[in-house]
Amino acid sequence: MIAYILRRLALMIPTLLGIMLITFTIVQFAPGGPVERVLAQLQGQGDGSLSRVTGGSGDLGGGGAAARAGGDTNARYRGAQGLSPQFIAKLEQQFGFDKPAPERFAKMLWDYARFDFGRSYFRDVSVVDLIVERLPVSISLGLWMTLLSYAISIPLGIAKAVRDGSRFDLWTSFVVIIGYAIPGFLFGLMLIILFAGGSFVQIFPLRGLVSEGWENLSLWGKVTDYAWHMVLPLTALVIGAFATATLLTKNSFLDEIRKQYVLTARMKGLSERRVLYGHVFRNAMLIVVAGFPGAFISAFFTGSLLIETIFSLDGLGLLSFQSIVGRDYPVVFATLYIFSLLGLAVNLLSDLIYVWIDPRIDFAARAT
């Protein structure tokens, strides 16, 4: 097993390299990079935040003569008329685009190997500080959503499998299908309209993870305020995941219940509870455990994007989306690197949990 773990860890390196290389190559051909964004804003109404990007330089002049003297430099930026080529070259240097793409990619890999992610282009803060600032929201949503959905779906799925075809199974299947059919963000909007002052009553808060003045509350007040803010976004997230995991659990248990070893255990006089939880549970839970890493990663990074937007929660999903739209490449690449690394680690953890649940599985033997 140790050799298998070492091989998996070694395979993470080329996997990460491939992910970063593909993304870096796509970005090189994507129109409207950070330099173009700055130039477009300077040509338009301007942006006070650009003083951080341009170093506060006031060298925006040069007029038509400077633009004509720009030659090939300005030709790359069709919206750069009226800006001196020296300013554009300085801007390229500040963003690091004065170096060839292979050199920039190699430097990025070397920095990321040391977990040096640089600074955001447009926020004037280090990428690590930016991620750490948004991390509590994503951890809260991802962790509680995964725990709640599995806490509901596993017992419900087992109950549905045991009572397969009964009225209980039919009614709960109807509820599960409705939950699966309604997108989480749409359900979130419905909750806001009904319970957050949209059109009916205002029971729950509409935005944020905690209330203003949260740090001044007592310990119990902090816990209840945090829980009160989490009710609506967690409900919107859990409804879809709970439905998927319930059906997965039920089908997995049905497949195991119908196997010969279950019939043999019953013929030996074992109680139904012992058959179910002593024999069936361990085998049936393998496929459910296999889905756990994907469910957690989805909730932690991508699944909460729309929920974070609807409920004004500044998490990693919203940060990544905003960075992609704003061409804030240090944040984009750093979050992609961290997400990919964590995803590979969680998949390895899933294999180890497989072995812990069923020692008959030997990944090391299969890998040879």
For tokens 């008329």, the residue is 81
Q: Where are the domains of the chain?
A: 33-98, 127-367
Q: What is the pLDDT of residues 324-344, one digit of tens each?
A: 888 888 888 998 888 888 878
The tokens for 296 are 């957690």
CATH 1.10.3720.10 applies to domain 127-367: yes
Say what the pLDDT of residue 77 is: 53
Distance CA 130, CA 247 (A): 38
Q: What is the pLDDT of residues 174-186, one digit of tens each?
A: 888 888 787 777 8
Q: Which long-range contacts (CB under 8 A, 24 or more apart) does 356-361 make?
A: 357/282, 357/285, 357/286, 357/289, 358/282, 358/283, 358/286
Residue 50, pLDDT above cutoff 60: no
Task: Name 196's bridge partners.
Answer: 202
Residue 319, pLDDT above cutoff 60: yes
The Cβ of residue 135 has, within 10 Å, a number of other Cβ atoms equal to: 15
Average confidence score pLDDT of the chain: 76
How far, CA to CA in Å, does 249 sit from each of 50, 61, 81, 164, 287? 53, 67, 62, 13, 8
In 3D space, the residue among 190, 185, 196 whose CA is nearest the CA of residue 317 turns out to be 185
In 3D space, the residue among 164, 174, 304, 162 whose CA is nearest the CA of residue 241 turns out to be 304
For tokens 């990079």, the residue is 33
Which parts of the chain fold into alpha helices (H)?
2-29, 34-43, 50-53, 63-69, 72-75, 85-95, 101-113, 127-162, 167-181, 184-195, 219-257, 260-267, 272-274, 281-297, 305-310, 316-325, 329-357, 363-367
Average pLDDT, integer, range 193-205: 76
How far, CA to CA in Å, does 157 sit from each of 90, 96, 242? 61, 54, 10
Question: What is the identity of the amino acid at 68?
Answer: R
Highest mean pLDDT among 100-114, 174-188, 240-254: 100-114
Say what the pLDDT of residue 294 is: 65
Q: How confident is the model at residue 71 (pLDDT cuts 50, 70, 90)?
A: very low
Q: What is the pTM of this model?
A: 0.69
The tokens for 59 are 């060298």
Q: How confident is the model at residue 358 (pLDDT cuts 50, 70, 90)?
A: low
Distance CA 272, CA 302 (A): 41
